[in-house]
A and B are shown apart, each in its own frame.
Chain A
Amino acid sequence: NAGVMQNPRHLVRRRGQEARLRCSPMKGHSHVYWYRQLPEEGLKFMVYLQKENIIDESGMPKERFSAEFPKEGPSILRIQQVVRGDSAAYFCASSPTEENNYGYTFGSGTRLTVV
Chain B
Amino acid sequence: GQNIDQPTEMTATEGAIVQINCTYQTSGFNGLFWYQQHAGEAPTFLSYNVLDGLEEKGRFSSFLSRSKGYSYLLLKELQMKDSASYLCAVSVYNQGGKLIFGQGTELSVKP
Give the B-binding residues of A (Cβ under 8 A): 31, 33, 35, 41-45, 48, 55-56, 91, 95, 98-109
Contacts and interface: CB of A to CB of B under 8 A. Distances in A.
A42 B35 contact: no
Contact of B48 (A33, A48, A91, A102): A102
9 contacts: A42-B102, A43-B43, A43-B87, A56-B95, A56-B96, A102-B48, A106-B42, A108-B42, A109-B42
Interface of B: 31, 33, 35, 41-48, 50, 87, 89, 91, 95-104
A29 to B, nearest CB: 11
A52 B89 CA distance: 27
A9 B47 CA distance: 27
Given A33-B98, A100-B98, 19 more contacts: A31-B97, A33-B97, A42-B87, A43-B99, A43-B101, A45-B100, A45-B101, A48-B98, A91-B42, A95-B97, A99-B96, A100-B96, A100-B97, A101-B50, A103-B33, A103-B35, A103-B48, A106-B43, A109-B42
